[in-house]
Amino acid sequence: MRLGDLELSIEPKVPLERLFYLLGRAQEWGQWFDESVRLGTVRDLYPAIADAFATWADRVLRAGVLRGYRSVRDAEPAIRGRWLVAEQIRVRQGLPLPAELQYDEFTADIAENQLVRSAARRMVASGRLPQSLNARLLRVDKQLGEVTVLVRGQPLPTVHFDRRNERYRPLVALAELILTNGSLDHRVASTVATGFLIDLPKVFERFVEAEVTRSARQFGGQILPQWQTPLDRDNNVYIKPDLVWRREGRVQAVFDAKYKAEKPSGFPNADVYQMLAYCVRHQLSTGHLIYAAGNEAPAHYGIEPAGVEIYCHSLALDRSPAEITQQVDAIVAMSMSYVSEEPKPSGAAGPGISPCSTRSASLRT
């Protein structure tokens, strides 16, 4: 965030190159980012994103600006396309010209290019980039000079990829990242404030969703994100775990992702209460909380008389991508090892009910 001559920088607790790995997996970018963007000499988030964007823009636009058909509805002095006669009578009151028309135009002013040009302008306007990088972004803006710049605050256009525009995918992904996370510019008197902020809890949540889904494929069933069900009998209170694994018509495991620093005294109690509610509702004997690693070791809590074990896992995000993958695989394998053939008896959470048998284990990740 820049406010006049003052700049505030919030640094993530993961290395910058690992942050981009999380973004790539969370946004389903595939492997193109890891293979193509050099982050070793970059120490700040915004210039790193801008450099990646400029690199891909140069690569994509070097092959030519993408063009496509866009539906246009306008009033023009000559007839072309479809003449909207009913609209002509209503608007022009019988006058033949200008004609109310609708036609398809083959143009560069399409959603893909609108996103790219708007993102390039947004970064240049921030005033936070080196002159050489600004020059590269201004070159992108010039190449797309006939393209409309998107209005701030309006929803971004949706791009559907196919063989024709597939080469634009990495560039559009970065443009959407810039336009979604860049805050509005604010001006008070002669002071201008600009900002760029990534919501890391959401990124971490989507990263865990993507990785758990990948790892759980070998066990069958289906991973459902944000699956909502009622907690009480009268459907007044609803729960919505981050991830639910369903197989053969019932819930087999529940995961919740938490990007927050662990407290010195242990994992936050509220998270344990929340997971306990998920386990009781879905008649599970185990629940799994997945944290971004701090200084705490993994832990688990046995909840009696509910007969529930809650495991808290820590993902060390400063490790290599292969090691992070191994950590997720270990968590998923552990959760699947507790799946029983029969659900817990109804009412197992209440006093006086014999708790289900539970197993305890430790996991180092």
User: Which of 87-96, 225-234, 335-344, 354-363 is the most confident on average?
Assistant: 225-234
Would you state the pLDDT for residue 21?
A: 79
Would you state the pLDDT for residue 16?
A: 73
Would you state the pLDDT for residue 363?
A: 34
Would you state the pLDDT for residue 346?
A: 43
Q: Specify the domain boundaries for CATH 3.40.1350 within the chain.
A: 201-337
CATH annotation of 201-337: 3.40.1350
In whole angstroms, give the CA distance from residue 192 to residue 259: 32
Handedness of CA 31, 37, 41, 45 (dihedral sign): negative
Tally: H helices and E strands in the chain: 10, 15
Asked if pLDDT for residue 11 goes beyond 80, the answer is no
In whole angstroms, give the CA distance from residue 183 to residue 103: 36
Would you state the pLDDT for residue 30?
A: 58
Confidence of residue 195 (pLDDT cuts 50, 70, 90): low
How confident is the model over 97-129, as pLDDT tens digits? Answer: 887 777 667 789 999 999 999 999 988 887 778
Handedness of CA 288, 292, 298, 301 (dihedral sign): negative
* Residue 245 β-bridge partners: 223, 253
Pairing of strands 82-83, 68-76: unpaired
Would you state the pLDDT for residue 123?
A: 87
- Look at residues 285, 29, 4 and name the one whose alpha carbon lies nearest to residue 171: 29
pTM to 2 decimal places: 0.68
Confidence of residue 336 (pLDDT cuts 50, 70, 90): confident
In sequence order, which residues have a C-beta less than 8 Å from that of residue 338 and are 6 or more positions away?
A: 253, 285, 286, 359
Query: With 0-12 CB in 10 A as exposed, 13-18 as middle and 19+ as buried, what is 1?
Result: middle
Q: Which position has the higher pLDDT, 96 or 211?
A: 211
Q: Which position has the higher pLDDT, 262 or 46?
A: 46
DSSP string, 5-72: TEE-----SS-HHHHHHHHHHHTT-TTHHHHH---TT--SHHHHHHHHHHHHHHHHHTT----EEEEE
Query: With 0-12 CB in 10 A as exposed, 13-18 as middle and 19+ as buried, what is 27?
Result: middle
104 residue type, one letter: D
Residue 118 · residue 144 · CB < 8 Å: no
